Amino acid sequence: MSAENPSFEVSIQLVDGFRFLVDFGEFGQLVTDEPAPLGEGKGPNPSKMLAASVANCLAASLMFAVQKFKEDPGKITAKIHGELSRIDRRWRIEHMNVELTLGNAPDTMPHLERALSQFEDFCVVTQSVRQGIDVKVTVRAPDGSLLT
């Protein structure tokens, strides 16, 4: 991965029904599934995966921002609540509310106010979701030929 223009790759493969095996390469695999009535709920669905990504990125960004000042935020925890709404008759994630909790008392971090004013800017995932993501879709046949 080039430091100048980083990239990443994740592979997924249909197991059965609406269950997929997500392969993170050296970091292992995870099964996702849609809840009933589509799937069997045997794993997190993509909405929960997105929520976990947003919450994790914000927690890591807060940790980074506080540690820049050589201070210790303790064991940060995060909880995220997402709301789905029908938009143009289709389910969409309309809101995500994230609650981060510091592990150490604020008065042990003299630069906490500065860290809080900037940590969200460090979160790649949240800032990408907030601004929208350009997604290009290509569909190929089993023989590799391009369909779209």
Residue of 8, 13, 115 lying closest to 53 (CA atoms) = 8
pLDDT at residue 14 is higher than 90: yes
Q: Average pLDDT for residues 55-76, to the nearest whole number?
A: 96
pLDDT at residue 116 is higher than 70: yes
Could you report the per-residue pLDDT of 27-41, keeping only the tens digit for each? 999 999 999 999 999
pLDDT of residue 47: 95
pTM summary value = 0.89
Q: Are the C-beta atoms of 116 and 94 separated by less than 8 Å?
A: no
| Of 60 and 138, more confident | 60
